[in-house]
Amino acid sequence: MSETGPGVSNLSVTGGAGGSDAFYEDLAAMGDLTDDVAGSTLTIAMTSHKYLVDPDVLASGILNPGGLAKFEATMLGALDGPSGLTATSAAIGVRGLTLQATNQAYQFVDDLNAKALEASRWLAGAAVATNPLLGVASAGAIAADVYLNYDGDWQKWLVAHPGMIDTILGMSPGALSALGLPSTLATLTESLAALYPDGDPKLIDQGPDFDPRTATAPQNLGDLMDGLDYRNGQNSDKPGEGSNIDVRTIKDEHGKITGYVVDIPGTKVWNAPLMDDKNNANDFGTNIDGIAGNETVLQEGIEQALRDAGVPKDAPVMLVGHSQGGIVAARAANDFVNNGTYNVTHVVTAGSPVGNIPIPDSVQMLSLENNGDVVPHLDARENPDADNRTTVKFDNQTNTAGGNHAISGPDGKDGNYEAAARQLDGGNDPSVRGFIDSAGAFLDGKSADSHQYKVERQP
């Protein structure tokens, strides 16, 4: 195994088993349980009142009137006294209501903060559109910062302030609306996607792959990134050459299949709208279509590859994607599960803007994001803090957009996303450990067979 890259630091984890959403769910569950206990206690109290007028108990008073009086007094105290069952039931019920209200309040504040951020960006865009001097002043301040503090290197400035991408994208709907073109970020993305015709997939079978990075069973997150990095290196922008996905069959010590891993690398062709992309499925149009929420030719090719590989519909499948590959992996997981096509149980993304992509509750998703990588900011939204979605952010500043976005370091050595993954393997964060422990079908195998494919667009 490779050693951890020295550039990775400040890992932070949100979501997953240790995230706030899981905490909110625990609050709600505790509130429901407490409410149930209160109901059961009150039922016992109400039912127990019948013993106060039970004929046999009353008849005993003829022989022992003092004993009857003492029993009645004790029973009434136990049921209706200050510390009796009825009062206890009421107190438990109030506690349950408090827990449920606290859960709702926490979630309300989170939603309100997210909406406030979105609204503030929209208003800033509208303000710049109606008063261009504000935009000129802001641009001047940024330019001064670039030349005074970053030696005039705009790329170095951008990777040090990647959140500017979120701000600019978030401002664009407000600016257009102020100019008389009402829109949202979703409609803008959909309009841009319409300029990239997607077409139909053409799947080319490239045969078995015997490279140890994909032909052996991964044992941890670092191995998953290593295999994805290898596949990324094989992904070619030339028609018919290389392979841009693979299907790995994971087997246990008895040769029994436990799951399937699909590696999906990132963009290869950065084409403008309506430009010839040589039928490449890893073009910029696939990015835009995926972010817009559309099924892409690459996703259709993955589905066909799973079918050609003979993957049963109920077998566990993990999708692993970098950049564009992560977008497609998340979209495919949502569609495959909801349509009953394939049983995707796990998704791993690296450097992918997936905050707006819905993920079924049955799918566990782990997203890695370098704080200096601009690509995860292209959806202008943080990933949801859900109990089935874990996001890990880290620092690994190379001062270049490409270096911050790369899976591995120079010469294929551990660095950036692969190095971050290996640090996570050695850590004890509950959300990350929960994801790894749940992925035994893919990470506990003893052997693997790998088959590679090239997905292209039909001419």
CA–CA dist 352, 363 (Å, integer): 17
Residue 2 has pLDDT above 50, yes or no: no
Q: Give the residue, 137 or 431, on which the prediction is more confident.
A: 431
Mean pLDDT in residue range 19-40: 57
pTM of the model: 0.79
> 22 pLDDT exceeds 70?
no
Residue 124 has pLDDT above 90, yes or no: no
Rounded distance between C-alpha atoms, residue 190 and residue 182, angstroms: 14
Q: What was the pLDDT predicted at 3?
A: 35
Please report which confidence band the pLDDT of residue 38 belongs to, taking 50, 70 and 90 as the band edges: low
The answer on pLDDT for 103 being more than 90 is no
pLDDT at 177: 77
pLDDT tens digits, residue range 393-433? 999 999 999 999 999 877 666 679 999 999 999 999 999 99
Distance (Å) of CA 340 to CA 178, 250, 303, 387, 393: 43, 22, 12, 22, 32
Closest CA to 196 of 92, 108, 267, 111: 267
Give residue 277's pLDDT band: very low, low, confident or very high (50, 70, 90): low
- Please check whether residue 162 is in contact with residue 155, taking contact to mean a CB–CB distance below 8 angstroms: no
Q: Which amino acid is at 170?
A: G
Least confident stretch, 15-29, 317-331, 387-401 = 15-29
Q: Is the pLDDT confidence value at 204 over 60?
A: yes
Instruction: Name the residue type at position 295.
Output: E
Three-state SS for 91-111 is HHHHHHHHHHHHHHHHHHHHH
Q: Is the pLDDT at 342 greater than 80, yes or no? A: yes
So what's the pLDDT on residue 71?
66
The one-letter amino acid code at 261 reads V
Q: Which of 3-12, 204-213, 247-256 has the lowest mean pLDDT?
A: 3-12
User: Can you tell me the mean pLDDT for 340-356?
Assistant: 97
Q: Cα separation of 254 and 7, whole Å? A: 40
The mean of the pLDDT values for the chain is: 83
The percent of residues in the chain predicted with pLDDT above 70, rounded, is 74
For residue 167, pLDDT over 70 is answered with yes
Domain ranges in the chain are 9-21+200-457, 26-111, 124-193
Which of the given ranges, 1-5, 21-25, 357-361, has the highest pLDDT on average?
357-361
Q: Tens digits of per-residue pLDDT, 40-73?
A: 665 665 666 665 556 765 666 576 777 667 765 7
Q: Are strands 364-370 and 447-457 parallel, antiparallel or unpaired?
A: unpaired
- The C-alpha angle 402, 349, 205, rounded to 5 degrees, equals 90
Measured CA to CA in angstroms, residue 218 lies from 47, 94, 213, 223, 439 at distances of 60, 50, 8, 5, 11
75 burial class (0-12, 13-18, 19+ CB within 10 angstroms)? Answer: middle
Find, among 206, 271, 217, 278, the residue nearest to 245 by Cα: 206
Note the pLDDT tens digit of each residue in 223-259. 999 999 999 999 999 989 999 999 999 999 999 999 9
Pick from 185-199, 281-295, 313-327 the range whose average pLDDT is largest: 313-327
Neighbouring CB atoms inside 10 A of 21's CB total 20
